[in-house]
Amino acid sequence: MILEVKGIVAREIDRKIKTNPMPELIGEFLKGPWKEVMKIVGLRDGCGGKAWQAAIRVMDDMIWSVQPKSLLKERQRLLALIPKLLHALREGLLLIGYEPEEINAFFKKLEKIHIHCVNAAKRNEAADGQVTASKDQAKQELLRDIVKQSDKNKAFQQDLADPALSKSRFFPVVQSMALGTWVEFQDQQGVKRGKLAWKCDFTGEFTFLDRMYKVIADVPMKDLLRQFEYGKARIVNEVPFWDRAVDTVINSMKFYTGRDTVHLAS
């Protein structure tokens, strides 16, 4: 059975790599770490089960995420996908014994590829010299996205330089918060719990997902600090049993939804 699963995994990954263009880093990742993840999923849940299909979709979404994004709706879909994709990748890598530092180093490289893919469309349009009205609109949207991210970075740098902010007793807690930390939020709708799935060193934004991998909070560091200061957020030290159960890798993959549609060569 082990040899059979290994063969199925190898053929599946080889087919994806041969039929879809991708950066070398992604190809090496699929042939290395992700192949090991899929072997474990195949052995535990079967090559065809819900977790297996989700593991393939993670692979498809990752390949799609590193393609150029010329349309606004593609960039919006990418922004919505990234937290879920990174969470699924992290769960898989932890399963095969990756250290958090290794995972974060890989994610930083992946982030650079994503930024390059978004900017590539703008460079290609300028080189062609044939910018239609729709392309011009897409370029303007892209520029606004870049300016928006730049503005967020400036605001984040100003926040970091604010003495009052750094003197907060929660500043070191939030600044050093590790990915995977569970936080409980309180608002007018009640209490929600989410795991820190992504924090951006460039904009200072924190993204939290619930146990069904839906975004429950996407906030800049300054706002997150305020919530801690006002007692509207707290770190959950003891996660209930049902949270821990769903947090296992195989079950978490079964809940992975990814993008609405997948258009990759099989």
Per-residue pLDDT reduced to its tens digit, 144-185 = 554 454 455 555 455 554 666 777 889 888 888 888 789 999
Alpha-carbon torsion angle 93, 95, 98, 100, nearest 10: 80
Mean pLDDT score, 79-86: 88
Question: How far apart are the C-alpha atoms of 246 and 252, rounded to whole Å?
Answer: 6
Residue 152 placed within a domain = yes
Q: Does residue 56 sit in the same domain as residue 82?
A: yes
Q: Output helix, strand, coil percentages for the chain, rounded to the nearest 5.
A: 65, 10, 25
Residue 264 placed within a domain = no
The residue written with tokens 């800049």 in the block is 220
Q: Does residue 173 sit in the same domain as residue 151?
A: no
Do 197 and 83 touch, CB atoms closer than 8 A?
yes
Residue 243 placed within a domain = no
Q: Does residue 123 sit in the same domain as residue 201?
A: no
Amino acid (1-letter code) at residue 59: M
Q: Does residue 30 sit in the same domain as residue 132?
A: yes
Do 217 and 185 touch, CB atoms closer than 8 A?
yes
Residue 266 placed within a domain = no
Residue 121 placed within a domain = yes
Q: Does residue 87 sit in the same domain as residue 188?
A: no
Q: What is the pTM of this model?
A: 0.56
Q: Does residue 48 sit in the same domain as residue 91?
A: yes
CA pseudo-torsion sign 141, 142, 144, 149? positive
Residues constituting the chain: 266
Q: Does residue 76 sit in the same domain as residue 126?
A: yes
Mean pLDDT score, 7-12: 94
Residue 48 is predicted with a pLDDT of 87
Mean pLDDT score, 2-13: 88
Average pLDDT score over the chain: 78
Question: How far apart are the C-alpha atoms of 183 and 75, rounded to whole Å?
Answer: 28
Residue 224 placed within a domain = yes
Identify the domain containing residue 175 by its residue range.
165-238
Residue 265 placed within a domain = no
Q: Does residue 63 sit in the same domain as residue 105?
A: yes
Residue 261 placed within a domain = no
Per-residue pLDDT reduced to its tens digit, 22-47 = 999 999 999 999 999 998 888 777 89
Residue 250 is predicted with a pLDDT of 67
Over 60: is that where the pLDDT of 74 sits? yes
Q: Does residue 103 sit in the same domain as residue 212?
A: no
CATH number, domain at 231? 2.30.30.30
Q: How far is CA 44 from CA 47, 159, 164, 251, in A?
A: 9, 47, 51, 11
Q: Does residue 144 sit in the same domain as residue 176?
A: no
Q: Does residue 85 sit in the same domain as residue 178?
A: no
Residue 57 is predicted with a pLDDT of 93
Domains identified in the chain, total number: 2
Q: Does residue 134 sit in the same domain as residue 183?
A: no
